[in-house]
Structure 1
Amino acid sequence: MRDLVYTGFVSLDGVVDSPGGPAEGHRSGGWVAEGIEFLPEAFALKGEELADTTALLFGRRSYEAFAPIWRDSDDHAAYKDLPKYVLSTTLSDDALVEGWGPTTILRSAGDVADLKKSEGGAIFIHGSAELARRLADEGLIDRYNLLVFPVLLGAGKSLFSRADKDKQMLRLREAETYPNGIVKVIYDVG
Structure 2
Amino acid sequence: MRDLIYTAFVSLDGVVDSPGGGPGEDHRSGGWVVNDIEFLPEAFSLKGEELEDTTALMFGRRSYEVFAPVWRDSEDHAAYKELPKYVVSTTLSDDALVEGWGPTRILRSTEDVVELKKSEGGAIFIHGSAELARRLSDAGLVDRYNLLVFPVLLGAGKSLFSRADKDKQALSLRESAAYPNGVVKLIYDVAG
When the two structures are superposed, what TM-score results if normalisation uses the length of structure 1?
A: 0.99
Aligned AA (1:18): S
Corresponding residue for residue 127 of structure 2: 126
Corresponding residue for residue 189 of structure 1: 190
Count of residue pairs brought into register by the alignment: 190
Matches within 5 A, 1:148-167: 148-167=149-168
For the pair 1:14 / 2:36, whether they are aligned, the reply is no
User: How far, CA to CA, are the matches of 1:166 and 1:3 in structure 2?
Assistant: 21
* Structure 2 unpaired stretches of 5+: none
Percent identity reads: 83
Corresponding residue for residue 102 of structure 1: 103
1:84-140, CA deviations, whole angstroms, 9 ceiling, x for partnerless residues?
A: 000000000000000000000000000000000000000000000000000001000
Which deviates more from structure 2 when the two are superposed, residues 16-25 or residues 149-158? 16-25
Shift in Å, 1:21 = 1.1
Shift in Å, 1:10 = 0.2
1:131-171, CA deviations, whole angstroms, 9 ceiling, x for partnerless residues?
A: 00000010000000000000111100001010111211100
For the pair 1:5 / 2:10, whether they are aligned, the reply is no
Shift in Å, 1:45 = 0.3
User: How far, CA to CA, are the matches of 1:11 and 1:65 in structure 2?
Assistant: 21
Q: Which 4+ residue blocks in structure 1 deviate beyond 3 angstroms? A: none
| Counterparts in 2 of 1:142 and 1:181: CA distance versus 1, 3 Å | same
SS where residue 137 of structure 2 aligns?
helix
Shift in Å, 1:34 = 1.9
| Counterparts in 2 of 1:70 and 1:22: CA distance versus 1, 3 Å | closer
User: How far, CA to CA, are the matches of 1:146 and 1:139 in structure 2?
Assistant: 18
Is the 1:22–1:28 contact (alpha carbons within 8 Å) kept by the matching residues of 2?
no
For the pair 1:70 / 2:71, whether they are aligned, the reply is yes
Shift in Å, 1:38 = 0.4
SS where residue 34 of structure 1 aligns?
helix
Root mean square deviation, CA, Å:
0.7
When the two structures are superposed, what TM-score results if normalisation uses the length of structure 2?
A: 0.98
Corresponding residue for residue 27 of structure 1: 28
1:40-98, CA deviations, whole angstroms, 9 ceiling, x for partnerless residues?
A: 00000000001100000000000000000000000000000000000000000000000
User: How far, CA to CA, are the matches of 1:120 and 1:7 in structure 2?
Assistant: 19
Corresponding residue for residue 140 of structure 2: 139
Shift in Å, 1:35 = 2.1
* Structure 1 unpaired stretches of 5+: none
Corresponding residue for residue 116 of structure 1: 117
Shift in Å, 1:22 = 4.9
Is the 1:62–1:127 contact (alpha carbons within 8 Å) kept by the matching residues of 2?
yes
Corresponding residue for residue 79 of structure 1: 80
Shift in Å, 1:33 = 1.1
User: How far, CA to CA, are the matches of 2:22 and 2:152 in structure 1?
Assistant: 16
